[in-house]
Chain A
């Protein structure tokens, strides 16, 4: 008998790996020094641990430890990267290129910059959520200082052709920021291969602790930033504030494990995802895959179950932790901006469920979830007027619905 509740929301967060926790523990009570204390062994020990962690995190993405800036998480990293570049290089131009499916940390940062005189181009994606590199070329002007594109999408798992995009960005001479939160440790990702200048990372998406992030900033050629926080001048003046030593030690350990285990782990997770997909689609019709069939991170499966509302379905699956592109709980009632950007009809966006598979997901859990999904979708379709109408051959688009 499978143990419930089952966690299947690994794109939201991940549990701390016990090996990571073990690495962190001495830095709470024993090696508690301030890494900025230069006058005693407590400070030196903390600094040494932080420096080792920089190397571990940088190594995961093919960079150098000296290029890592610690932050409180990827939201801060992204804010620092985008605002920092925009401010420091404002005299070079005030145009930024990004994409409609980016995380709100990118989109809302860009919107704020628009209010202070910057121009932002939000690029469209295809139906699978992929960006055409040529669209980046067309959008870039002499005024473009920054292109910000995620490596992999958090909702639908789509992986962009980053190498091709990076080449174009460099050809045109702008800085390239990559939000690699969902990609790092999940698929091979190398800062030099994609020619990134800045890369945002988060510990808690790779079995590290929450509240810890990193911004990788290229040193050659040097990339400079205007800091957001003023204070003690930590992190080469780019991010003042005492380093969260246990946190960064955990991040380092998590990155090292992710790097070592990536080939085996991603293959195992991919098999589980395929198993889940096959079990569901062999039993149910009218199930749509959101995102790209191949260019996606292994742990993400995003499905729309036609004629069943996502939140209603999650209520039936209450012993499984999932998330939905339905925004039935939000005041706006707007479904996912990512699914919209992919051209998914609003009704199918409301019917979407994201299954996030990760390190601790088992085959038994996948089988249990698949069976529960099949059973619940059948029950809710029996209760759905839309399913009945569709089965009768009524074209739902021909009906004059009353939007509310």
Chain B
């Protein structure tokens, strides 16, 4: 590498050093819009299932819009979960989650917005960040067996915002959801 390039690289890295990762407790924001890549690794399935789409969190509602390989728009609110396939009519989904839709809506919104205190009634929360320049990690262990059976353990990673979730189910299934900023 030429010295000019090294200089350029050093200058380019300055803003990164200036924007060191704040602690996860300092996250803010009420509305979230992120692109996601979801990778589902299911026990017994040789190849993970990968999908992409967009997550939009607004007060009282989570929209999980998978665009590839299928176009499925899922809305989760306190009243339940609906799906519309290929822009068709929204249909209610039987989630079999024992009426926890409202709870999940709140959990997802709280996770994306870093409202950890709201989650302490439901999870044991462990925050890991060795120094201010590092990404942080928040691990959530559900306190309620019913919730643990449905969600499993959750690991959230991020810096200035949430960059990934990983859900680890008791049966070994994992779900890694990586986020990147979406255009407004």
- The answer to whether A and B belong to the same complex is no
Residues of B at the A interface (CB closer than 8 Å) are none
Interface set of A (CB-CB < 8 Å, partner B): none
